[in-house]
Amino acid sequence: MRDRRWFRRGSLLLGWAVVLAGGAAFAADTYPEGCVSCHTNRQGEADFRLSNLLSQIGHPSVKRVKMVPRDCTRCHSTDPADGEPVFSQIIHEIHFDVPKINLYVTRFGGDCRNCHEMNVEEGEAQVKDGAKNW
């Protein structure tokens, strides 16, 4: 009788532990540092670090960049009045153009919150930043 009671209590505790762990996993941010959390050099996969991808398209050296994407805006404008595509548009276009075959949409669900986070107190969406990983 006592064994059965302990089994029931144990099951209940285990159930709650699973629910709480699931909730924590749901709330966890898989890409807390935005660009550099996703653009990495994972073992067994292609080198997706931005330094590597940018060198492939002939982009000037990004050695001096420290925080990504903050420091990209040293050269890439954020002001639409400058008459050239602003930095956000470049990044959005790369990640969302031709959604049927765009890796960011097909594999990562095109989730805005991989790169942005919501400041709930201010009610403002912000861009995540991270130290360069190259």
- Would you say 4 or 107 has its CB closer to another protein? 107
DSSP 59: P
At its nearest, how many Å lie between another protein and the CB of residue 41?
26
- Smallest CA-to-CA distance from 50 within 58, 65, 40 is with 40
Rounded Cα–Cα distance for residues 42 and 20 (Å): 29
At its nearest, how many Å lie between another protein and the CB of residue 2?
36
> In the complex, which residues of this chain contact another protein (CB under 8 A)?
23, 27, 85, 88-100, 102, 105-106, 110-113, 116, 118, 120-125
Contact at 8 Å (CB) between 85 and 72?
no
At its nearest, how many Å lie between another protein and the CB of residue 100?
6
- Would you say 47 or 111 has its CB closer to another protein? 111
Contact at 8 Å (CB) between 5 and 13?
no
